[in-house]
């Protein structure tokens, strides 16, 4: 370990000892328990987070996975392993949930990209996993082109509200020819997206009347709710596990803004985050 990394790790350990395991509102959501059956440590919720019991169990299971993978000390490599595993297991779960749908009911298909024109929320763990994937799969020229595209889209979106960014003028930076170019590592929120009516999706994004009605209502169209409930439960478990068990900053970020920081920034941003620092503060998702 370099001396800079060792200093960061020591500082992170000191900060973890000093800080209580509480969120900004002073609440603690997780509790550590010992499984009487096998003696292993597991994580439980102090109180339900969701109305559905299966979602609470899923959130607790995701938090237990955080503990199982990161163990005593979080590292960037450990967080990447954890996130890849969570993305893959969520994909399998959502596929199983969607498989219960009546044949032909799901409107989503390859090339349909209406839902890829809006602010996408991610955690730092997801953004770092996307960045690691890009570094492993893209050439230097491709990364440079992506960096330029991300910067242009970010400048175009600067200062706009979420409603204003729900527009054909604001495609996701990873949307290429109607498809997701980071499909294997796309965020959890994208995995839950689904629709029962592609015409409705097109109307609310592209037609003035449909768009105005959608924005006035403030919620989406017809869809299967279980995949959305599933991704929210997994995401909550991961966020709480990372923040309460390891004091890592797991607040929701704007995908576009955090990818700009990662593509333009210092190669050690990920290590700094894993050491308990908050290098992605500028990408915090604005709630408006
Ligand atoms: S990451 Fe992929 S699936 Fe998600 S909004 Fe962007 S292009 Fe669409």
Q: Which residues line ligand 1 (CB under 6 A)?
A: 116, 120, 172, 174-175, 180, 182, 186-187, 190
pLDDT (average), residues 140-144: 98
| More confident: 21 or 147 | 147
pLDDT > 90? residue 260: yes
pLDDT at 15: 54
| Residue 152 CA to ligand 1 centre (angstroms) | 17
Q: How far is the CA of 116 from the centre of ligand 1 (A)?
A: 5
Q: Relative to the CA of 176, which ligand 1 atom is closest? A: 7
- pLDDT at position 5 is 66
Note the pLDDT tens digit of each residue in 76-133: 999 999 999 999 999 999 999 999 988 899 999 999 999 999 999 999 999 999 999 9
Mean pLDDT across the chain: 91
Residue 22: is its pLDDT beyond 60?
no
Q: What pLDDT band is residue 18 in, cutting at 50, 70 and 90?
A: very low
Ligand 1 centroid, distance to 15 Cα (angstroms): 35
Q: Predicted confidence band at 149 (pLDDT cuts at 50, 70, 90)?
A: very high
* Residue closest by Cα to atom 2 of ligand 1: 180
Q: Does the structure show a pLDDT above 90 at 142?
A: yes
Give residue-wise pLDDT tens across range 233-246: 999 999 999 999 99
**Residue range 250-266: mean pLDDT, rounded:** 96
What distance in Å separates the CA atoms of residue 74 and residue 67, rounded to the nearest whole number? 9
Mutate to test the pocket of ligand 1, among 121, 180, 191, 194 (most ligand atoms within 8 A of CB): 180
pLDDT of 287 over the 70 cut: no
Instruction: Examine the pLDDT at 288 and tell me if it is beyond 60.
Output: no
pLDDT of 17 > 80? The answer is no
pLDDT in tens, 171-208: 999 999 999 999 999 999 999 999 999 999 999 999 98
**Model confidence pLDDT, tens digit, residues 23-51:** 566 678 999 998 888 888 999 999 999 99
- Closest residue by Cα to atom 8, ligand 1, is 116
Return the ligand 1 atom nearest residue 175 CA: 7
pLDDT band at residue 157 using 50, 70 and 90 as cut-offs: very high
What pLDDT sits at residue 20?
41
pLDDT surpassing 70 at residue 12: no
More confident residue, 213 or 3: 213
The domains of the chain are located at 73-236+248-283
């Amino acid at each position: 370990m370099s001396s800079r990394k060792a200093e960061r790790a020591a500082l992170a350990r000191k900060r973890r000892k000093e800080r209580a395991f509480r969120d900004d509102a002073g609440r603690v959501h997780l509790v550590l328990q010992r499984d009487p059956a096998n003696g292993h440590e597991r994580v439980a919720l102090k109180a339900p987070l969701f109305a559905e019991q299966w979602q609470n169990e899923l959130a607790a299971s995701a938090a237990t996975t955080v503990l199982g993978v990161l163990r005593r000390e979080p590292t960037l490599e450990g967080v990447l392993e954890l996130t890849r595993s969570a993305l893959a297991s969520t994909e399998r779960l959502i596929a199983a949930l969607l498989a219960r749908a009546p044949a032909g009911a799901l409107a989503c298909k390859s090339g349909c990209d209406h839902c890829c024109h809006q602010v996408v929320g991610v955690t730092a763990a997801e953004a770092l996993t996307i960045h690691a994937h890009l570094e492993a799969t893209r050439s230097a020229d491709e990364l440079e082109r992506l960096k330029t595209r991300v910067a242009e889209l970010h400048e175009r979106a600067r200062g706009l509200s979420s409603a204003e960014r729900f527009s054909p003028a604001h495609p996701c930076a990873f949307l290429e020819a109607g498809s997701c170019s980071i499909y294997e590592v796309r965020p959890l929120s994208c995995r839950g997206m689904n629709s029962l009516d592609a015409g409705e999706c097109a109307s609310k994004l592209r037609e003035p009347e449909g768009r105005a009605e959608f924005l006035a209502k403030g919620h989406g169209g017809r869809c299967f709710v279980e995949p959305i409930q599933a991704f929210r439960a997994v995401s909550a478990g991961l966020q709480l596990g990372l923040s309460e068990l390891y004091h890592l900053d797991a607040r929701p970020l704007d995908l576009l803004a955090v990818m700009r920081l990662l593509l333009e920034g210092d190669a050690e941003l990920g290590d700094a985050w894993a050491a308990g620092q908050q290098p992605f503060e500028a990408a915090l998702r604005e709630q408006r």
